[in-house]
Structure formats: C-alpha cells, structure tokens
C-alpha cells in the first residue's frame, strides 16, 4: 500500500519495520482529538486565505464523516498507515478525494500529535477531578455518620491516642484535596496549544495560531516552536500527580485491608466489593483495595518509564517520544478503574463502632492525658512522662488498664492524683481535650466537615 510519505522511497517498507514503528494499535485512542484538532486547523487555513473556502468545506464534511465512523466503531485502522494521524488523513482522502490532501498544509505530525495529547489529557484531568470529588463526598458521608465513633489512632501501627473515626477519614479528604489541586494546577500547562509549530521551526504559511487556540479553547499557545513539539512535561506531570494520588489510594487501601481483617474487625466492606476463595468457604477477600495497592506499582512505573524516555533526548521531535502514550493510557485506565470503585466502596462500607470502642477501652492510648494531667498540676512534663511510664508498666504487670486503677494505686505513683483523673481518662474526654484547630475534638471535627462540605460545593 502506498505511503503518505512514499515519494522519496524506492522500496517497500519491511513488514516487521512497519509493525515495529506503528503506533496505531494504541494511539487510536486519540482518534476524536485528532479530528477535533484537524477541524480547527482547516477552519484556520480557510480564515487565513491559505485554502479556498470550498476546499475547507469539503474537508470539514469529510472529517465529520470520519468522526461518525470513529464513533460507530466503523473506522478500519491499518498498520501500514502507521499512526492515528495518517490513518485519519488516508480515510479523509478516501472520503473526499485528493482535496483531503490539503488538510496537512502548514502542519506536521509533530505539532499534531502534541496537540492531540494536550486535548486528550485536558479532558481526563477534568474527569479525574470529578471522580475525586465523588470519593471525597463518600468519605464525608462516612465521617458525618461517625462523629461519635472513637477509634484508636496509631503511630508505628501501635495504639497512640484515641481519635474520632471521622477525623481519620477527613485526613484522606485533605489528601485527595491536594490531588485535586495538583491536577487543577497542571491544567494551566496542559491547556496550551502546540499546533502551528510545524515540524520544529514554524511554518512558511501565514497561519494564525491564536485563532486555532481560541477555537479549541486553549488558554494560550507555546512560545517556542521547538519546545512545542518536544515538550512532554505535561504528561510527566500528569503521571507524577497520578502517582501521588495512587499512593494516597494505596495507603487507604492498606488501612481498609487491615481494618477488615479478623484481627481488627473495624469495618466490613460490602459483599458487592469483595470476592471469595475457590477453596476456603469462609473467606471474603478485600480484592479491590488489594489490587489498587498493587496497581500503584504500574503507575509509578509509567512515571519512571517516561522520565527515562525523555532523559537525554535532543531537541526537537524524536521517535522515542511515541513511547509517551502507552504508559499514559495505562495510567488513565488504572486511575479510572480505581476511582470509580472507591467512592461506592467507601459509601457502602459498614463501620463496626462497638468493636472500635472495645479496642479503645482496652489500651493505654489515654496515657498521654494523665501525663498532661500531672503537668497541669505543676510537675515538669518530662517527670510526668516518667511517672506515667511506671504506672503503665505496673498496669501491664498486673493485667489492668489505667481506668481500672484505684485512687490509692494512682497515688503510689504521685500524690498529685485526685478523683478527677477518672473523667480525664474517659475516651470522650481524651478526644475532646484536643480542641485545637485541625485536632480531633468533636467541635473541631464538626467544623472541619462543614469546611470540607463548602469546599466541595464550591467545586
């Protein structure tokens, strides 16, 4: 089959070379963006008097026909046309005849492919922000339902201080908010138009890049034509943002897996989000969070992959850059899969409040508060720490928790103890004592939920 670039060649392309260099197998995902970019480009060619309006109309009609075929899944892609750009141009020429060959006037595949990628990622970023907000809503829903649920808070995965379960969930709302803000910020760099850079140096035709930018709703155009066709920072940035987001999802996943174990029994994921074992009838496995945790690896891998592809590439376009796509598509699909499942999985998860309370009642996570109690009575905190360390050791040796001690036993460790210690040690008191902005006290968490809700409403 003849090539769009065949003029300079005297031989057919080796079949293996064709297969090796083709990207149509994956870049067909850019089909709609490619047509969208071409429509704006050809409109501009007409407006600038580079092509006569009747040619422009024919090309536009043809592009619309091609778009219909793409949407109906009727377009047949061929490896010998290498990539999505040449496949579509070939289709257009089939559709409207040789006038279709005028579409590529003043354009190169180098600025074309970059434009397609910008259009593609721009859409995805908006979708991901929406999915993240749905997840935040699910977390907020659980937080509101668990304003009275006290759970051990951990450091080193050892019981540290009791907290509201709502407070724990709100930590993730904050993490996902940063992910949203990162994506929104990256939009500034994604929403810049490379088209008009030509192959690398610009074009001899009197084109209007700003007109194309307006048509495609880009906020601006690349300043430098070499940079326009060489830049893949916006993809690296997306992959980095995606990696941080997956790291957050993976941390939450790990907690969901732990919390749903028999050892914790803090939560139960809905049956619809779990799977069973082919041999052990009693099993209900948290496959979704496990897989999200596992798939974090490939998202990090895609980031490292692209950084490594780009490292040391001379300006401007190099074929190496075709390797920017599969990792990006894979990360988009991985993120979509995870985020679509996470919001309903969190919304439907059952929280075992009694079991959480039982855990809190059977630990020393109120120890800091008696140290603070003695410090408030004037004992230097360092000494108070020592006294309570001994008290805890006494409890461990005698199979007791702090609240089981009599006042006489307390007084063996310090004469400063009095009856009020029993109130201080109640989990509710311990939680509500941390009444600082951003802390776990109920009024603080209630206010934090309100702030998060208005932030979500503001979008």
With CB under 6 A as the contact rule, the residue among 83, 111, 179, 241 that binds ligand ARG is 83
**Toward ligand ARG, which CB reaches closer, 142 or 322?**
322
Among the listed ranges 105-113, 245-253, 394-402, 423-431, the one in contact with ligand ARG (CB under 6 A) is 105-113
**Toward ligand ARG, which CB reaches closer, 27 or 231?**
27
**Toward ligand ARG, which CB reaches closer, 23 or 331?**
23
248 catalytically annotated: no
Distance in Å, CB of 325 to ligand ARG, minimum: 6
Q: Which of 2, 174, 261, 277 is catalytic?
A: 277
**Toward ligand ARG, which CB reaches closer, 322 or 352?**
322
With CB under 6 A as the contact rule, the residue among 120, 176, 317, 373 that binds ligand ARG is 317
- The site string for ligand ARG over 120-159 (x = CB under 6 A, - otherwise) reads ----------------------------------------
**Toward ligand ARG, which CB reaches closer, 24 or 190?**
24
Distance in Å, CB of 321 to ligand ARG, minimum: 5
Give the tokens for residue 205.
């035709």
Number of residues that bind ligand ARG (CB under 6 A): 10
Among the listed ranges 57-65, 162-170, 177-185, 319-327, the one in contact with ligand ARG (CB under 6 A) is 319-327
In whole angstroms, give the CA distance from residue 324 to residue 305.
Answer: 9
Among the listed ranges 245-253, 268-276, 296-304, 315-323, the one in contact with ligand ARG (CB under 6 A) is 315-323
217 catalytically annotated: no
Distance in Å, CB of 235 to ligand ARG, minimum: 12
3-class DSSP string for the chain: CCCCCHHHCCCCCCHHHHHHHCCHHHHHHHHHHHHHHHHHHHHHHHHCCCCCHHHHHHHHHHHHHHHHHHHCCCCCCCHHHCCHHHHHHHHHHHHHCHHHHHCCCCCCHHHHHHHHHHHHHHHHHHHHHHHHHHHHHHHHHHHHHCCCCEEEEEECCEEEEEEEHHHHHHHHHHHHHHHHHHHHHHHHHHCEECCCCCCCCCCCCCCCHHHHHHHCCCCEECCCHHHHHHCCHHHHHHHHHHHHHHHHHHHHHHHHHHHCCCCCCCEECCHHHCECCCCCCCCCECHHHHHHHHHHHHHHHHHHHHHHHHCCCCCCCCHHHHHHHHHHHHHHHHHHHHHHHHHHHHHCCEECHHHHHHHHHCCCCCHHHHHHHHHHCCCCHHHHHHHHHHHHHHHHHCCCCHHHCCHHHHHHHCCCCCCCHHHHCCHHHHHHCCCCCCCCCHHHHHHHHHHHHHHHHHC
- The site string for ligand ARG over 190-209 (x = CB under 6 A, - otherwise) reads --------------------
In whole angstroms, give the CA distance from residue 288 to residue 376.
Answer: 47
**Toward ligand ARG, which CB reaches closer, 317 or 342?**
317
**Toward ligand ARG, which CB reaches closer, 175 or 321?**
321
Asked if 110 touches ligand ARG (CB under 6 A), the answer is yes
Asked if 113 touches ligand ARG (CB under 6 A), the answer is yes
Asked if 23 touches ligand ARG (CB under 6 A), the answer is yes
Among the listed ranges 160-168, 178-186, 316-324, 423-431, the one in contact with ligand ARG (CB under 6 A) is 316-324
Distance in Å, CB of 333 to ligand ARG, minimum: 18
- List active site positions: 156, 277
What is the contact surface with ligand ARG in residues (CB under 6 A)? 23, 27, 83, 109-110, 113, 317, 319, 321-322
């Amino acid at each position: 089959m003849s090539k769009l670039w065949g003029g300079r060649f005297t031989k057919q392309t080796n079949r293996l070379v064709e297969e090796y260099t083709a990207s149509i197998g994956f870049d067909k995902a850019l089909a709609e963006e490619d047509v969208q970019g071409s429509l704006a480009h050809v409109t501009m060619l007409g407006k600038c008097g580079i092509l006569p309006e009747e040619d422009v109309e024919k090309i536009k009609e043809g592009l619309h026909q091609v778009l219909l075929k793409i949407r109906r899944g009727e377009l047949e892609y061929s490896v010998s046309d290498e990539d999505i750009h040449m496949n579509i141009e070939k289709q257009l020429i089939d559709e409207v005849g040789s006038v279709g060959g005028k579409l590529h006037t003043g354009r190169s595949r180098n600025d074309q492919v970059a434009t397609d990628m910008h259009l593609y990622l721009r859409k995805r970023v908006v979708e991901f922000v929406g999915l993240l907000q749905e997840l935040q809503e699910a977390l907020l829903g659980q937080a509101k339902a668990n304003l009275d649920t006290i759970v051990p808070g951990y450091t080193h995965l050892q019981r540290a201080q009791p907290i509201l379960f709502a407070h724990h969930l709100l930590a993730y709302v904050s993490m996902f908010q940063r992910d949203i803000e990162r994506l929104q910020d990256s939009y500034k760099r994604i929403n810049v138009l490379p088209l008009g850079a030509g192959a690398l140096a610009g074009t001899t035709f009197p084109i209007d890049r700003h007109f194309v930018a307006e048509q495609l709703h880009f906020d601006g155009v690349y300043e430098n034509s070499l940079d326009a066709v060489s830049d893949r920072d916006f993809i690296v940035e997306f992959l980095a943002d995606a990696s941080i987001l997956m790291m957050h999802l993976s941390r939450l996943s790990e907690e969901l897996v732990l919390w749903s174990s028999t050892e914790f029994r803090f939560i139960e994921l809905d049956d619809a989000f779990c799977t069973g074992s082919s041999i052990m009838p009693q099993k209900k496995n948290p496959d979704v969070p496990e897989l999200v945790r596992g798939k974090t690896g490939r998202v990090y891998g895609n980031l490292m992959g692209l950084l490594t592809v780009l490292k040391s590439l001379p300006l401007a376009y190099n074929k190496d850059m075709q390797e920017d796509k599969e990792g990006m598509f894979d990360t988009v699909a991985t993120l979509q899969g995870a985020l679509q499942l996470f919001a309903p999985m969190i919304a439907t998860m059952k929280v075992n409040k009694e079991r959480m309370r039982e855990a809190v009642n059977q630990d020393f996570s109120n120890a800091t508060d008696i140290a603070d109690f003695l410090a408030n009575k004037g004992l230097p905190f360092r000494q108070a720490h020592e006294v309570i360390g001994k008290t805890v050791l006494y409890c461990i040796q005698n199979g007791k928790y702090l609240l089981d001690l009599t006042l006489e036993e307390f007084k063996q460790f310090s004469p400063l103890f009095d009856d009020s210690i029993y109130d201080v040690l109640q989990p509710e008191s311990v939680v509500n004592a941390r009444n600082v902005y951003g802390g776990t006290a109920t009024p603080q968490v209630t206010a934090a939920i309100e702030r998060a809700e208005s932030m979500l409403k503001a979008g």
